[in-house]
Amino acid sequence: MSDTDSFIDEVTEEVRRDRLYLLLRRWGWVGVVAVVLIVGGAAFNEYRKARDTSQAQKLGDEILAALAENDTAARVAGLEQVDVLTPGGEAVRNMLLSASQLDADSRQDAVDSLNAVAVQGDLPEIYRAIASFKALLLQSDTMPAADRRQQFEALAAPGAPLRLLAQEQLALIDIAEGDTDAALERLQALRQDAEVSVDLQQRAAQLIVALGAEPEPLVAQQG
């Protein structure tokens, strides 16, 4: 390699270093900020996990302490005083509260606690459906049949998580109203549903027999 080539290489390398230093001076803060964000984000995630764990443990301890009360009134009072900070925690508390209120013969309070869960829009649909279903069952003697039918029909919509159980309740309303044909049609269809459980299928068959009819032969479901 000639002296000229060596000199050109040295100059080229110097220019590269100068450009690198210039870029570092101009944009080096971006790397610093990125590192700070990564480290800070990891620290925040750990803090959030620790906080959520602490809150969950506190909620669990308070609920268990309330449920340990032998007196139903004291159990209800204890659950009402549980400090809830998350939608899920509130739903759990209200579901347990409704059971204790029912034990204390406070049926309407139990219904109110369940309905509070049923309208909690930030909960998964299955939990809201269960709360609504249980609230309707508790009102079987107090709510007009037409109102119960309307709400059970909403729970029986295609794709709803409790649609088959809601269909069973609709058949019972049909029977109570003397519409045996509608009840039989609903129960026969219920038994043929691809998602029906064995227990529900058997209950439907027993109702059909009780109504003086014969369960239709089950159609083999396509796998």
User: What digits encode the pLDDT tens for the residues 60-97?
Assistant: 788 888 888 888 899 899 988 888 878 888 888 898 89
Q: Say how far residue 37 (Cα) sits from the centre of its chain.
A: 33
- 13-17, 62-66, 110-114: which has the highest mean pLDDT? 110-114
* Better-predicted residue by pLDDT, 221 or 160: 160
Rounded Cα distance between 38 and 31, Å, is 11
Kindly give, in sequence order, each residue whose CB lies less than 8 Å from that of residue 194, ignoring residues fewer than 6 positions away: 221
Residue 222 has pLDDT above 50, yes or no: no
Report the alpha-carbon angle 29-32-38, nearest 5: 140
Rounded Cα distance between 66 and 62, Å, is 6
DSSP assignments along the chain, one per residue: --HHHHHHHHHHHHHHHHHHHHHHHHHHHHHHHHHHHHHHHHHHHHHHHHHHHHHHHHHHHHHHHHHT-SSHHHHHHHHHT----SHHHHHHHHHHHHHHHHHTT-HHHHHHHHHHHHT-TTS-HHHHHHHHHHHHHHTTTTS-HHHHHHHHHHHTSTT-TTHHHHHHHHHHHHHHTT-HHHHHHHHHHHHH-TT--HHHHHHHHHHHHHTT--PPPPPPPP-
| Cβ count within 10 A of residue 68 | 10
Residue 6 has pLDDT above 60, yes or no: no
Rounded Cα distance between 133 and 170, Å, is 12
Record the tokens describing residue 73, joined without a space: 């009134």
Sorted by where each begins, the domain ranges of the chain are 46-143, 145-223
Residue 31 has pLDDT above 90, yes or no: no
Side chain identity, residue 91: A
* Better-predicted residue by pLDDT, 11 or 167: 167
